[in-house]
Chains A and B, each alone.
Chain A
Amino acid sequence: MKTINVVINGIPVQLERPMNIVEAAKRVGIHVPHFCYHKELTIYAGCRICMVEVKGKPRPVAGCSTIMSDGMEVFTESEKVIAARKGVLELQLLHHPLDCPVCDKGGECALQDYAFKYGAAQTRFIENKRLIPVNYNNPLLERNMERCVSCKRCVRICAEIQGDWVLSDMNRGSRVTMESFCGDESECVHCGHCLSNCPVGAIQSRLYKHVGRPWYVDTEAETICPYCADGCTMTLQTREDKVLRVVSDETYSKGANRGSLCVRGRFGYDFPNSNERLTTPLVKKDGYFVESNWDEAVAHVAKRLSEIKSAAGPDAIGAVIGGRNTNEEAYLLQKFMRTAVGTNNIDNMARMGHINALNALEAAFGVAGSTNQIKDIAQAKAVLLIGNDAATENPITGLAIKKAVLKGGAKLIVADAGRNMMTKHSSQRLTYRAGSEGELVMGLINAVFATNMHDADLEAKNTSVFDKVRAKAGKYTPAYVSEKTGIPAEDIKRAATVFANAKPATIVFGKGITATADGFGKSLALADLAFITGNVGKPGGGINPMASKAGEQGACDVGALPDRLPGYRKVSSAEDRKRLGGLWKSELPENPGMTVGEMVEAAGAGKLQAMYVVGANLAYELPDTKNTVEYLKKLKFLVVHDIFMSETAQLADVVFPAATFAEKSGTFTNSERRVQRIAPAMKLQGGARPDGEIIAAVSAKMGRPMDWEPAVVMEKISVSTPIYAGITYDTLAGGGVQWPYYEEMKSGTAVLHAEGVTGRADNTDAGVGEGAALAGKVFPFVADITVSLYHSGTTTRRTRGPNMVVGKALAGMNPSDASGLGIADGDTVVVRSSTGELRLPASIDKAVPSGVVHIPAHFADVCAGTITGLVLDPAGKTPVARYWPVAVTKA
């Protein structure tokens, strides 16, 4: 396209594409005032403050809705324009209350700035101001419509980016207000997009209300949200070493999340301030914790571990690192275990499911990671979302899917056994019987082959792989799959047609696949589906596994796995052991170690005598809580690092107080392989120390000193971990890098396998198993145990915001099931399984399919692990605990 030459305030500007005046002016550093314009939203042209003068036009024109054409001459600060702005501002301020001194937006308010620059000092309005009561319908947001400038950005962002349509503009004319329709906030997911997008103080956070002012902020650190694995960039503001609030990027362009946050990120920030934080190392003496000091506690740990090592051998010691820890810490822990202790008994909490997806993707395409990036999903023309509720588990991935649907017109197929909040955006919903995920995926593959919708060019190059997949899918005819899954055969065919004919199409999946029996085989089948439809290696295509916690992907990458060294090199490979052993100046153990589940079982059997748990709450997150606690109690020695006195820490012999993400630096790797830096926003609280420092101290005491400063550790990782080669803190500056990183291009890899893929790298093969129906006569329901949007574990239970919205666990039940059992909304129900029972209030929810009880996994008083058993899947040794047969009765 030909360039457009325009003149703005006398400065000639060249535009390579047509754009509006506001954006064009931004190019040359001229700010055109605006309220209602936002580049990510549709043009509204309502505020009329962006009026500019265009040469040859008698009246000022709106800068947001006027597209620049060749030869246009614009004046943004001429006398006429200033007069127009002054007039509009006078009207804007007519009813605006003069409460800037107590408005929390004061100091960062667009209206304030413009009024200061253009407005008259005194109003000519002598009538009474409009009085509107403040709206407190929302637990986290306050809406003060007296302050509203009616720019409708909140309404538009709620509809266009968040896709929830909670807010609407009620009434008309001067009585217009932005509120939820008829006060119904039930659809609100408290993402706070409206809050971050309000140019004035009309929408305010109730957590931050009257707490701070912009000039109270001492430090501001751009960091990464520590909750889910979407890896959202956000800014922490602190005052006097307390987190004041979280702000997101108002331009909606930074990071993997492009400025968006969910309720956990935006409102779940105050756990570092909690007064429940551990402050000193605790050593258990005679069954009671005694406050100790660092030197003593570290020496004690080193001594006990050395004793056990020499008495029972290194393999009697195991270590687990949790999902909240950084890559550097995971690396240090596995290095500590492999060198100082001398065992491969190291695992991380990706074992709860995500590891299956990584192993399957490695088996299929050779790289253990998502093939694409999250924002790519928005380009897809069809999305298969299976076993993952992206709207609650990975909300920012959910936004990318919504963008594909709302902006790109993509077809969304939602396949899930339980409740899925993405259903309202879907064009097709497939509700399968829990356990029959594999049959459904194979059924889709079968249907694709049956109608010859697979990629024929690719087949010509990869005949053997295609033949293998075709043969495997042979028996999964629509009729057979329909019988197994309970989905009508027509629906399966329709879904296969939609998915195979859309180019590009992408797959997003999560724990509903990976944390079930044969999770590895099912993930592999999904990889096959992406491969045969020719979507691998294409932007907007590919296959995206969703990890559940921020540190999971990274911990696997840097080798916190019992059978893998950093970079997924096999422990069994002598060559890799030798290379790493050379770097670490140590002989590395060659036998693969135990996984988390195996360690707990071994502890019960007395084979494992000591455990070193960093930031993982095993007694809570693992299934079969009762036995897990029993087994952990049998350990001779248990060391726990945690920020709170978690259920596991209570069982420990030594507890080290750890630093939160707000106090340390490091990196997280998100689901899309993006390595991103977190930065400290405040000083270490109490006596807490970063986990890496503690590990290094223990290691040093055991005769293996290590550097623990995160930047130095990252340099070592880049040497020892091939997939992280070239990644240092310098290359990570400015938004992180998706590994693998290419020095010569100075960039990471957004789309893997873009140069072509050959399918099965190694000849791994795994079936999807037999999806036997979980529900039976004794236990007629299936418990669907998932994370809630508002909670994700130990930390969120100590945050104010999420607890204000959802404070307790509710058992979601289908109305027909509930009425069959005589259960009304709010009644206490007993959910009983073969291992235990839970008592919690029921919530009648149409979104929960019949035959399923929805149990949230992360509440203090109702531990979902009580009703599950510890069953390890043979392939990945992952605990199979996503779905569990239960019986429900009214209490």
Chain B
Amino acid sequence: MSGLEKFIKTIFFWEILKGMKLTFKTMFDKPVTRLYPKEKPVVPPVSRGLHALRRHPNGKEMCIACGLCAAYCPTRCINIRTSENPDHSKAIDVYEIEILKCLFCGYCVEACPVRALTMTQEYELASYTRESLLYTKAMLLANGDRYVGKETHFD
């Protein structure tokens, strides 16, 4: 490198300009960050969000309460209590997921033999109380109803 070239580069802060090149370039790009609470991200369809219990088209719950999700759950956060209906079918008395314990590993969904349990794109789960993070059957069914047709995750 000649002395002149070195001199010019020095007085014009060439190295800095070189470094700033990326900065200037990205000034005109679309930003990758988002103003999260105001701007909601588009969640990919296979993301693992809040669980949901699905219904049959006739409105009946799909879950047969086999307990395989609870058996497979690595953190044992699923609690199911069942009893017998007068017509000898299986009644679900309690179906709870303790979201605070949940890892969102998706094993429960994988275990479900009737695809009644699925995961949705619902990810905003923060809450002020522990109690509200114990998702009951009604809450999970309601979540399922919100996502009718969108639970493409494992289907």
Contact = CB atoms under 8 A, between A and B. Distances in A.
Contact of B91 (A210, A213, A215): A210
A100 B114 CA distance: 12
A189 to B, nearest CB: 24
Given A210-B90, A215-B67, A101 B114 contact: yes
A787 to B, nearest CB: 30
A182 interface: no
Interface in A210-245: 210-211, 213, 215-216
> Is the interface on chain A under 10, 10 to 19, 20 to 34, or 35 or more residues?
10 to 19
B152 to A, nearest CB: 23
A1 interface: no
A106 interface: yes
A102 B83 contact: no
B84 interface: yes
A134 B87 CA distance: 11
A101 B64 contact: yes
Nearest to A214: B71
B67 A209 contact: no
Nearest to A106: B66
A136 B65 CA distance: 22
B68 to A, nearest CB: 7
18 contacts: A100-B66, A101-B64, A101-B66, A102-B64, A102-B66, A107-B71, A134-B88, A136-B88, A209-B88, A210-B89, A211-B83, A211-B84, A213-B66, A213-B71, A215-B67, A215-B70, A216-B70, A216-B80
B80 to A, nearest CB: 8
Contacts of A215: 67, 70-71
Contacts of A216: 67, 70, 80
Interface in B62-92: 64-68, 70-71, 80, 82-84, 88-91
Contacts of B45: none
Given A210-B83, A211-B83, A101 B91 contact: no
B16 to A, nearest CB: 65
B85 to A, nearest CB: 8
Given A210-B90, A210-B91, A101 B84 contact: no
A846 B155 CA distance: 64
Given A209-B88, A216-B70, 19 more contacts: A100-B66, A101-B113, A101-B114, A102-B90, A107-B71, A206-B84, A209-B84, A210-B82, A210-B84, A210-B89, A210-B90, A210-B91, A211-B82, A211-B83, A211-B84, A215-B67, A215-B71, A216-B67, A216-B80
A611 B114 CA distance: 62
A210 B68 CA distance: 14
A107 B71 CA distance: 10
Contacts of B114: 101
Nearest to A209: B84
A102 B70 CA distance: 14
Interface in A171-219: 206, 209-211, 213, 215-216
A214 to B, nearest CB: 9
Contacts of B67: 213, 215-216
Interface string A92-108: 00000000111000110
A627 to B, nearest CB: 45
A102 B65 contact: yes
Contacts of B82: 210-211
B19 to A, nearest CB: 60
The 7 closest A-B pairs by CB, nearest first: A101-B66, A210-B90, A213-B67, A215-B71, A210-B84, A209-B84, A101-B113
Interface string B80-117: 10111000111100000000000000000000011000
A73 B67 CA distance: 44
A100 B111 CA distance: 13
Interface of A: 100-102, 106-107, 134, 136, 142, 206, 209-211, 213, 215-216
B109 to A, nearest CB: 15
A591 B69 CA distance: 67
Interface in B107-135: 113-114
Contacts of B65: 102, 210
Nearest to A207: B84
A136 B70 CA distance: 30
B81 to A, nearest CB: 8
Contacts of A209: 84, 88
A142 B66 CA distance: 19
Contacts of A210: 65, 82-84, 89-91
Among A107, A134, A213, chain B packs the most CB atoms within 10 A around the CB of: A213
A206 B85 CA distance: 12
A213 B65 CA distance: 10
A211 B91 CA distance: 9
A696 B113 CA distance: 54
A803 to B, nearest CB: 17
A244 B123 CA distance: 36
A435 B68 CA distance: 61
B150 to A, nearest CB: 25
Nearest to A103: B66
Nearest to B76: A215
A142 B87 CA distance: 13
Contacts of A142: 88
A143 to B, nearest CB: 12
A100 B67 CA distance: 11
A837 to B, nearest CB: 39
Nearest to B66: A101
A818 to B, nearest CB: 36
B30 to A, nearest CB: 48
Among A142, A210, A216, chain B packs the most CB atoms within 10 A around the CB of: A210
Contacts of B90: 102, 210
A102 B90 CA distance: 7
Contacts of B113: 101
A213 B113 CA distance: 16
Contacts of A213: 66-67, 71
Given A210-B84, A210-B91, A101 B68 contact: yes
A183 to B, nearest CB: 18
A100 B64 CA distance: 11
A411 to B, nearest CB: 46
Contacts of B68: 101
Contacts of A100: 66
Contacts of B88: 134, 136, 142, 209
A101 B68 CA distance: 8
Nearest to A107: B71
A768 B64 CA distance: 66
A789 B87 CA distance: 29
Nearest to B91: A210
A477 to B, nearest CB: 63
A215 B71 CA distance: 6
A321 B72 CA distance: 48
A136 B84 CA distance: 14
Contacts of B64: 101-102
Interface string B20-41: 0000000000000000000000
A205 to B, nearest CB: 11
A72 to B, nearest CB: 41
A797 B100 CA distance: 42
A804 to B, nearest CB: 13
Contacts of A106: 66
B69 to A, nearest CB: 11
A777 to B, nearest CB: 53
A213 B82 CA distance: 10
B48 to A, nearest CB: 23
A134 B88 CA distance: 10
Contacts of B70: 215-216
Nearest to A208: B84
Contacts of B84: 206, 209-211
Among A101, A134, A209, A211, chain B packs the most CB atoms within 10 A around the CB of: A101
B40 to A, nearest CB: 37
A142 B114 CA distance: 25
Nearest to B82: A210
A206 B84 CA distance: 9
Nearest to B114: A101
